[in-house]
Amino acid sequence: MLSGPRKDAMAYADWLRRDHRFSDILVQVSPAPCGHAFPRLKLRYKPSLVQLEGGSCHLPLVESSMRASPLTPSEWREKLEARKRLESEPAGDTSGRNVLLLDVRNGYEWDIGHFEGAKRPNVDCFRSTSFGLSEQEMDSSDPLHGVDKENTDILMYCTGGIRCDVYSTILRKKGFGNLYTLKGGVSNYLTSEGCAEWVGNLFVFDDRLSLPPAKFAEEGEREDAAQEQGGIDTGRSSPSRWLGRCYVCGSEVEELKHRNCASIDCNRLFLCCRWCLEELRGCCCLECRSAPRLRPLLPGHQRYDKWHLYRDATSSTLHISS
């Protein structure tokens, strides 16, 4: 991933496509309204791009037959619409196949936006994901509990598609036969299909944290305009309203954007209403509010900098007694 001026970023994407080794690569573009989304260069070596318990290096990820079948955004939308029609049929009608929608992201990502009908994943880190992996009788909270592995279509989605490639391989080895994933992930879908079947915003792992679907639709319309002339109906739906919940008090939150807890030793990502934000001085709970290493309450949704920038500030700024 990289960020830069649109002209330069697209020039780089075109350069990639001209290289026959990357000619079929899916380049996704999304706006960064407040400057660079990645303000610092980070180079890290990781033996596995996606971290799982036990590692993922042993998985046959390069074997396409072991991964879920990729669906284009339009095919994915058709599947979701078919699923909705199936759910509206009278109880006991088994003429159609069962369809299960599986969100393979983290719970806090679901909190600000997801496909309609997807259950909230009760995990805060991908390595904790364990859908369908129990060797014993599956927990009833597992969305794959009791699923007919041969006669259920499992639709898996994540932000960019990488997690699904990894996790579908695991499920394939567990005997799940009908696995489908959204090609390019949610970001590609929102660019192509807009808000159809989607509610809320999309969580992103950079300084923006949250992007409304309209931002992706703008990029899609730019691409359409470059290929077509005249006013053509793109079929994109208007956004569905989604209200998140304050992590502290549970009240509705319309501003779908997380913040980090002001306690550096907690640093939890959480949604917060304005009242709780002021009451707890940017912390996620009373315990954190009395923690020894507190950062100042930031206005709006600014991101915290490194701790050393706050460490030498006055104690009255960093510590709020309860």
Selected catalytic residue, list 158, 272, 273, 283: 158
CA–CA separation, 144 and 189 (whole Å)? 24
- For residue 101, the surrounding DSSP H or E stretch is strand 98-103
Closest CA to 150 of 177, 110, 182: 177
Left if phi > 0, otherwise alpha if psi is -120 to 50, otherwise beta: which for 202?
Answer: beta
Nearest to 166 by CA among 127, 218, 120: 127
Round to whole Å and give the CA distance between 164 and 176: 14
Q: Which of 13, 49, 50 is nearest to 30 (CA)?
A: 13
Whether 158 sits among the annotated catalytic residues: the reply is: yes
Q: Which helix (H) or strand (E) holds 308?
A: helix 308-311
Buried b (16+ CB within 10 A) or exposed e, 245-269: ebbbeeeebeebbbbbbbbbebebb
- Catalytic positions are 158
